[in-house]
Chain A
Amino acid sequence: MTAPSIPRHLRFGVITLVIGFVITLGLFVDVVGRIQSMVQQKEPEGNPFTPPAAPLYEQTDPPMTVKLFFPGMQEDLILSGEDQTIRRSAELANRARQILQKLLEGPKTAGLYPSLPKDTKLQEVFIDGMGLAYVDFSSPISANHPGGMLNEQATVYSIVNSLTYNLPEIRQVKILVGGAEKETLAGHCLLLPLGMDLSITNVAPPKDPVDHAD
């Protein structure tokens, strides 16, 4: 069929429709693209503004023996103590960081197990004036956790006990996961501000609580 046989008003109508369709399609593609880019936008890995890590202790700081708590079943006990050495740094938070770093490295004694799941990193430690320590771990502490109440209790209290036993200034520990509050570690154990619990360990209460006061 040739063009002249098409009525003029129809031709205009069709052209308008086609233009309208093209514009709508363009807008649609644009909107879909925007939505996709929003959905696929990834969280930046790690904090890009992390200041250069300051040393956790000076070479002149005296050594300090600490008791770390690792899972290792002895009858009905869940955690066993293991002595390790850190440096008594001036800042309380730095001593806490050293203890947690040792905890992440795992036990030296045979028969004891690492308390933290693999790939877990310590992100931040903050201690408020009331003796509550906020300890922020990267998300693998939760995601890579094998689960189970017993296991979660072991992980949580290895952190809580290791800090509160060795640093009497810390009375409670609040564990954060990936920089945020989480209800439970992996479904079972509540991550509220928790105090020391030695009843699940083979360790006696510390004799002199002011032993480590500076």
Chain B
Amino acid sequence: MSHFKRTGPPLGQSSIRLHEVMKRFAPLFLLILTAAALLYTRQMSAADTDFLIYFENSTLALKSQTVDRVIYLPLQEIVRHMGLAFTDATGLMTFTIQGQNSRLVLTPGSGFISFNDQPVLLQNPIRRDGGQWLVPLDFLSQGLSRVAALEFRYRAGSRRVFAGKVTTTELAMNAQSLGVLTRLTLRAGAAIEVDLQKETAQHRAIVTLKGKAIDPARERLDYKDALVQSVAFDDSDGSPRLVVAIADDVRDIRVSSSEGNRVYFVDFIRELGEAAPAAGPTAVAPAARPANIANAAGGIRVIAIDAGHGGIESGATNSGTLEKDLTLALARRLRTALQSRLSATVVLTRESDVALTNEARAAVANNNQANLFISLHTGYSLEKTASGSSIYVMKGDFTGGVGEPEGGRLFFPWYMAYRISAPASQAMAQQLQQNLKQALPGWKFPIRHAPIGVLASATMPSVAIEIGNFNNDASVKTLADTEFQTKLASAIAAGIEQFAVAHAGGRK
């Protein structure tokens, strides 16, 4: 049959059919429209006040309007709040603000405002909309500040203006999944107080922030994982708080502070299933151990463990056994061993088979403010019979004394970050050497120094441990043995614990 021949009803009938279709689906269309309208109005009402002006003794919440991508604020409300005298001459279409010995006159539709009869040009025109005067943001700093003798500070992109002598507290936030918990880190410019409320029914947690005029670097955090769905800053009613949408799995939320209440950690801890009784820092009972150890090791808050290699980068191989798999297995065992000894959070640089750069590995430790960093690798020696194991510490001076200005440097390139903790790294290596030799008789763990990439930009005491000889089949078999791995992990954990006790405070 030809494709060109029309087989359906004549043309006129198809439009009738369209009507029928429309009739049938009309209720559905209506429903969608109503839903959309409802959603829209809800959003409108939710954004009732969306702009804040912080004065010295009060805060003014305003409803801003955006016209041509310019934010406009209602002038009358601001002037009234500030207690300035003004005349709204509807006949003349002017708005006059009286200050002490000064006068500011505005006309709608014009970017020119008159200050004591001198014209001042704004970047955007004044607007008058249904009896309401709308001023662009730069009116505050160009016009209002002159007549009110008050300074206004505004950071592009933010929803708040700070007036006069208001001291602001900058707030930066960051979230990271640490396996069993998600850690929200708040970093404030000055000491703040934090109050936590959990609203289980609404699946959210409210972190109320008490401090002077809090100025967040970002309104919301681009972060989402299994525990934390969203983090948003909200001060629309004048009281700053963080609204964290959380999942049902969150069993416990803990807040801890450091650096004189300038840094807060809000930990969202997952409901622990029966399958994982010993996982997570909450599962350990710090009370069960001697008080002096718990206190002394209190300086070690976070320990970062790096499982060497991963992804396309397999590391050393020996007949199907890959270094990347062994290091990950060992890292997990070490985490369990550490969590049963110390009440510190243990972070792994990778939880799965992924490739990471050396910088990224050190960054995990740096960003989590880890107090210790251990990179795990397996050894490979050209000599089949050699033990192959070593403990590596970043080499102090690898430049051969060249290019080092007298009196040291003012700025270090980032690959020299290790210098901050070089002596502590050496001390940790010695402690680990002692514990490993004790636990594994006959094994040697010489401490070596080399420019190791993964250690270079880690700011905390850090070592890399190379275990076994991948050039030796028997050694690989030993490494793959779970009993050996547990023993090894336990020896490393014991070393870390003793180092933590000896170097209370971690960063040295």
Contact = CB atoms under 8 A, between A and B. Distances in A.
Interface string A1-20: 10001110011001000000
B381 interface: yes
Interface in B434-483: 446, 448-454, 456, 464, 466, 470-471
Contact of B452 (A71, A149, A199): A149
Contacts of B466: 148-150
A119 B404 CA distance: 36
Given A150-B379, A194-B398, A189 B452 contact: yes
Interface in A174-214: 183-184, 187-190, 192-197, 199-200
Nearest to B382: A113
Contacts of B313: 187
Given A1-B5, A150-B388, A196-B400, A190 B383 contact: no
Of the candidates A10, A132, A148, the one having the most CB atoms from chain B within 10 angstroms of its own CB is A148
A73 B5 CA distance: 88
A184 B313 CA distance: 13
Interface size, A (range): 35 or more
Interface of B: 1-2, 4-5, 309, 313, 315-316, 323, 357-358, 377-383, 386, 388, 390, 392, 395, 397-403, 415, 446, 448-454, 456, 464, 466, 470-471
Nearest to B385: A73
Interface of A: 1, 5-7, 10-11, 14, 71-73, 76, 78, 113, 130-132, 146-154, 164, 171-172, 183-184, 187-190, 192-197, 199-200
A187 B448 contact: no
Contact of A172 (B377, B379, B400, B448): B400
Contacts of B358: 183-184, 187
A188 B452 contact: yes
B386 A73 contact: yes
A171 B381 contact: no
Contacts of A149: 377, 379, 390, 392, 448, 450, 452, 464, 466
A200 B456 CA distance: 20
B398 A192 contact: yes
Given A172-B402, A172-B403, 4 more contacts: A1-B4, A6-B5, A153-B450, A195-B402
What 5 A-B pairs come out closest when comparing CB atoms?
A: A195-B400, A148-B380, A1-B2, A190-B451, A76-B446
Contacts of B464: 149
